[in-house]
Amino acid sequence: MEGTVVIVGLGLIGGSIGLSISQENPRANVIGYDINRKETRLAMAMNAISEIGTDLKQDIERADLIFLCTPVFQTEKLIDEISAWHIKDNAIITDVGSTKKRIMQKAKVFDEIGCPFIGGHPMAGSHKSGVAASKVLLFENAFYLLTPGNSATDFHVEQLKKWLAGTRAKFLVVDPMEHDEITGMVSHFPHIVASSLVHQVKKVHAKQPLISRLAAGGFRDLSRIASSDPVMWRDITMHNTEVLKSLLIGWQDEMNKVVNLLEQQDSEEMYLYFKEAKNFRDDMPILQKGAIPSFYDLFVDIPDYPGIIHEITGHLAKEAISIVNIRIMETREDIYGVLSISFQTEEDRKKGEACIRSTTSYEVFTV
């Protein structure tokens, strides 16, 4: 497709969208804006954008497609500002925020001027931030939720999908309230729980300093999302307060249920509690991309001798299999293998597993 695209906010999401549009539509002019000039220069060097913007009003007024890739409170401010400008006929405005009800209420101002606004939420990401972490296929096979405003027709929705074809995402049109309820449960609520787990450890840490060293393995994986951007998550939770209050009250009831089982020493009911959770979790499509970034880890039970890590990574390098992270596991409760290797995709993990199995005799596990 040809035309002018403006991306406001060149972080992980904005940068990845820019990369996918630029590669799929080489004749498009992708203009980027960010309050951090270093990010815009890096985005230009990475070919995530083709031009660094200098006049936001002028560029938006000539754009065919406008992405607001900023924190949700900033997106609200931008909507107020942009709605007073002379938007090009049939130009599409969209955002990428993790909440939709408040954004869509704010975006009703575009209905008054006949400008199509389509709320968007690509449900994939990373715990790394900034344009440097951008990937052209960050959203591949991930759900990309769309909430069209009243002025956005089916034609406009299809046009947006065409612009985003390079993401290879799976698009779904949902109601804004339904969106916030679903993402509240599977994304926003788990982030609060993860942060709460870390706060619990922090409280004990003063009396038990060793806990920070031993809090690896399962705890590390459960709490990993607590390392996400606190500014972004502050704004998201403040945008979805009613849904989250309801979920947290339900969580308190659930924890009270567990406390009662412990007080009653009801081993049979406790067994059923864990068994039902295991069965339900095992039936979920957990290998698909969802609201919380996935981790594609491989665990290798290796002997302890010099050069062993170089041996493993050497085999992977020969097969041109990229890895994201590699670490030695000191605490391995519920996890097999002393070496943990993280990959970018499930496909890379499968290739890595096949490579290590075919070139070594070491035990390889996934969880």
pLDDT digit string, tens, across residues 338-362: 788 888 777 888 999 999 999 988 8
Are residues 341 and 300 part of one domain?
Answer: yes
On whether residue 211 sits in a domain, the answer given is: yes
- pLDDT reported for residue 128: 65
Do residues 256 and 303 both lie within one domain?
no
In a domain, 277, yes or no: no
Residue 129, classed as helix, strand or coil, is coil
pLDDT tier for residue 326 given thresholds of 50, 70 and 90: confident
**Confidence at 238, pLDDT banded by 50, 70, 90:** very high
Sheet with 117-122, edge to edge strand ranges: 51-52, 29-33, 4-8, 65-68, 92-95, 117-122, 143-148, 170-173
Q: Does residue 23 lie in a domain region?
A: yes
Q: Which residues pair with 151 in a beta bridge?
A: none
CATH for 23: 3.40.50.720
Among the listed residues 201, 282, 169, 188, the one whose alpha carbon sits nearest the alpha carbon of residue 242: 188
Q: Does residue 278 lie within any of the structural domains?
A: no
What does 197-234 look like in DSSP terms, one character per residue? HHHHHHHHHTT-TTHHHH--HHHHHHHGGGGS-HHHHH
Q: Domain containing 60: what range?
A: 4-174
Residue pair 12/134 in contact (Cβ under 8 Å)? The answer is yes
**Most confident by average pLDDT, 121-125, 238-242, 338-342:** 238-242
Asked if residues 298 and 353 have their Cβ atoms less than 8 Å apart, the reply is yes
Of 232-241, 263-272, 276-285, where does the model show the most confidence? 263-272
Query: Looking at the domain assignment, is residue 271 inside a domain?
Result: no
**pLDDT on residue 294:** 58
Number of domains present in the structure of the chain: 3
150's CB contacts (< 8 A; 6+ apart) are 108, 111
Q: Is position 354 within any domain?
A: yes
Tens-digit pLDDT profile for residues 124-144: 776 567 898 888 888 888 889
The position carrying tokens 């089916």 is: 154
**Same domain for 164 and 310?**
no
- Single out the residue in 152, 174, 196 at which a domain terminates: 174
pLDDT per position as a tens digit, 41-89: 999 999 999 999 999 999 999 999 999 999 999 999 999 999 999 999 9
Q: What is the pLDDT of residues 244-262, one digit of tens each?
A: 999 999 999 999 999 999 9
DSSP state of 107: T
pLDDT at 99 over 80: yes
pLDDT exceeds cutoff 80 at 31? yes
Structure tokens at 232: 């972004």
Asked whether residue 285 is assigned to any structural domain, the reply reads no
Contact present, 65 and 160 (Cβ < 8 Å): yes
Q: What mean pLDDT comes out for the span 323-350?
A: 69
- The phi, psi pair for 172, rounded to 5°, reads -135, 135
Question: Which CATH number does the domain housing residue 228 bear?
Answer: 1.10.3660.10
State mean pLDDT over 8-29.
95
- Claim to verify: residue 29 and residue 139 sit in the same structural domain: yes
Q: Same domain for 208 and 344?
A: no
- For the chain, the average pLDDT equals 87
Residue 163 placed within a domain: yes
Q: What is the per-residue pLDDT for 332? A: 40
| pTM listed for this prediction | 0.74
Beta-strand relationship, 363-365 and 296-301: antiparallel
Residue 261 φ then ψ, to 5°: -60, -40
pLDDT tens by residue, 167-186? 999 999 999 999 999 999 98
Domain C-terminal end among 261, 287, 315: 261
CATH code of 346's domain: 3.30.70.260
Q: How many CA atoms lie within 13 A of 235 on its CB side?
A: 17
Is the domain of 231 the same as that of 103? no
Phi/psi at 11 (5° precision): -90, -155
